[in-house]
Amino acid sequence: MTIGNIRGHLASISNHHIKHISKIDCWTTQLGARVRITVSELLNIDISETHTRRIYV
């Protein structure tokens, strides 16, 4: 491949990515929100488990 072909290929790739960036951003923000929710739920569960263990011990 020549430099011109490589540049053209990179340009087409970047244009393709730009079209999908908004979709990816929406997906990542939704995923991030879900991850935070699950993490907070897990932390709450862990905290409650440690408290119950302390009470029973």
Q: Is residue 6 part of a domain?
A: no
- Taking the whole predicted model, whether its pTM rises above 0.85 is answered as no
Residue 32 lies in a domain: yes
Task: Output the CA–CA distances (angstroms, integers) from residue 49 to 31, 35, 37, 41, 56, in the order listed.
Answer: 27, 21, 18, 12, 11
Query: Cα dist. 26→17, 22, 39 in Å?
Result: 14, 6, 20
**Does 22 map to a domain?**
no
41 in any annotated domain:
yes
Per-residue confidence in pLDDT tens, the chain, 57 aa: 687 787 777 777 777 666 667 777 777 788 888 887 777 777 776 666 665 666 555
Number of domains in the chain: 1
Q: Which amino acid is at 55?
A: I
Yes or no: say if 9 and 1 are a contact pair by the CB < 8 Å rule.
yes
In a domain, 31, yes or no: yes
Count the alpha carbons within 13 Å of 32 in the hemisphere toward its beta carbon. Answer: 6
- Residue 36 inside a domain? The answer is yes
Domain that includes residue 46, residue range: 27-57
Residue 43 lies in a domain: yes
